[in-house]
């Protein structure tokens, strides 16, 4: 029982991290109908910027306070992501309005290649550390209830808390601010939103910026967990089942989908994996999502798909 709970918690924590990446996808898809494959590259890019500036800023300014250096690096990386978002909107998306979904998908794949190359040219291609002072030691929960208790990584708990906080902030932003209302209007119907005077281009820049910040936060957390390296881009592929499970257009869907996928992956790896040779977590997530899709083609929380001739 203790082991089961341990796996379950591990899955929930991992799921929270998937949700973070998935959130970036959902935000952009909702607002602009673009399936942004570049989210993974954005995570890598942001994490690289953060890691390198955290290294460089103390050298340039002669600081030795790690906290200030990290905060400054975070801000600089945030500004860089803003510039990236603005450039993507300006140079790519604006020219591709009204194109088919597949074309837009391919364009974001092109952006992915570009950003992978650019990120590694600017910031180097080794493995870097992001050290934001996350405690690495594990803690034990429920020791009174089970023998030995349940082992949980403190780092994971903090990461999950940051993710949860980000989700709360984003939902407040979407529900309570004027910009958030405009974003939701654009998501509902581009033309109607434009006709009542919402500037589409600005909204898209804002959405990509928000997705950039989400990428930065997830890059920071994933980077401090795994080290900042090229394989961070595959995080995006891991997060894809999450969004089709939760629904491409739903923020709560991204969260709950992430949790389901995280738990499903870990439990399947532990309880099914040994019988079939292990390493099944990657495709298991996809198959899990597929099974859900067979019953609800729009995902758990996606808008109902209505076909009209």
Partner 1 sequence: MLYRENGQFKTSYRADQQIFPILQDRVAIALLVAFAVLGVPMLADDYIFRAILIPFVIMSLAALGVNILVGYCGQISLGSGAFMAVGAYGAYNFFVRVPDMPLIPALLLGGLCATCFGILFGLPSLRVKGLYLAVATLAAQFFSDWMFLRIKWLTNDSSSGSVSVNELQVFGLPIESALSKYWFCLGVLVVMAVLAKNLVRGAIGREWMAIRDMDVAAAVIGIRPMYAKLSAFAVSSFIVGVAGGLWAFVYLGSWEPAAFSVEISFRLLFMVIIGGLGSIMGAFFGAAFIVVMPIALNQFLPALMGLFGIEISTAGVSHAELMIFGGLIVWFLIVEPHGLAKLWSIGKQKLRLWPFPH
Of 41 and 77, CB closest to partner 1: 41
> Is the Cβ of residue 92 or residue 141 nearer to partner 1 in the bound state?
92
Spatial distance between the Cα atoms of 40 and 32, rounded to a whole number of angstroms: 18
Site for partner 1, residues 6 to 35, rule: CB under 8 A: 35
> How many of the chain's residues bind partner 1 (CB under 8 A)?
51
Task: Kindly tell me which of 178 and 309 has the beta carbon lying closer to partner 1.
Answer: 309
Residue 244 sits in the site that holds partner 1 (CB under 8 A): yes
Supply the minimum distance, in Å, between the C-beta of residue 260 and partner 1.
Answer: 16
Per CB under 8 A, 300 contacts partner 1: no
How far is C-alpha 135 from the geometric centre of its chain's CA atoms? 22
Q: Does 271 bind partner 1 (CB under 8 A)?
A: no
Cα maximum dimension of the chain: 66
Residues 6+ apart with CB under 8 A from 240: 25, 286
Query: Residue 251 in contact with residue 171, Cβ under 8 Å?
Result: yes
Nearer residue to partner 1 within complex by CB, 59 or 102: 102
Minimal CA–CA distance to 142: which of 287, 299, 8? Answer: 8
DSSP calls for 104-162: HHHHHHHHHHHHHHHHHHHH-SS-B---------EEEE-TTTSSS-EEEEHHHHHHHHH
Q: How far is the CB of 1 from partner 1 (least distance, A)?
A: 30
Please report how close the Cβ of residue 9 comes to partner 1 at its closest, in angstroms: 25
**Interacting positions 74-113 with partner 1 (CB under 8 A):** 91-92, 95-96, 99-103, 105-107, 109-113
Say how far apart CA 158 and CA 213 lie, in whole Å.
Answer: 18
Residues that bind partner 1 (CB under 8 A): 35, 91-92, 95-96, 99-103, 105-107, 109-118, 120-121, 125, 237, 240-241, 243-244, 248, 276-280, 282-283, 286-287, 289-290, 293-294, 297-299, 307-309
């Amino acid at each position: 029982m203790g082991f089961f709970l341990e796996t379950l918690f591990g899955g929930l924590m991992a799921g929270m991290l998937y949700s973070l990446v998935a959130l970036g996808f959902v935000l952009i898809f909702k607002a602009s109908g673009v399936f942004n494959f570049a989210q993974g590259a954005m995570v890598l890019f942001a994490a690289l910027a953060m890691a390198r500036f955290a290294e460089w800023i103390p050298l340039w300014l002669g600081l030795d306070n790690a906290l200030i250096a990290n905060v400054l690096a975070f801000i600089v990386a945030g500004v860089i992501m803003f510039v990236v978002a603005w450039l993507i909107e300006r140079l790519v998306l604006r020219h591709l309005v009204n194109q088919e979904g597949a074309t837009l998908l391919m364009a974001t794949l092109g952006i992915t290649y570009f950003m992978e190359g650019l990120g590694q040219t600017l910031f180097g291609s080794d493995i870097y550390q992001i050290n934001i002072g996350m405690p690495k030691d594990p803690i034990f929960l429920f020791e009174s209830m089970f023998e030995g208790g349940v082992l949980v990584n403190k780092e994971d708990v903090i990461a999950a808390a940051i993710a949860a906080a980000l989700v709360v902030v984003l939902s407040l932003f979407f529900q309570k601010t004027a910009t958030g209302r405009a974003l939701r209007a654009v998501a509902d119907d581009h033309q109607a939103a434009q006709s009542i005077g919402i500037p589409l281009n600005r909204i898209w820049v804002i959405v990509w910026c928000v997705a950039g910040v989400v990428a930065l936060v997830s890059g920071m957390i994933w980077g401090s967990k795994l080290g900042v390296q090229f394989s961070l881009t595959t995080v995006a592929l891991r997060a894809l089942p999450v969004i089709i499970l939760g629904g491409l257009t739903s923020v709560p869907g991204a969260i709950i989908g992430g949790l389901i996928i995280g738990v499903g992956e870990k439990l399947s790896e532990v309880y099914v994996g040994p019988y079939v040779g292990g390493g099944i977590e990657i495709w298991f997530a996809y198959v899990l999502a597929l099974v859900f899709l067979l019953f609800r083609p729009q995902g758990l929380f996606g808008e109902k798909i209505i076909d009209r001739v």
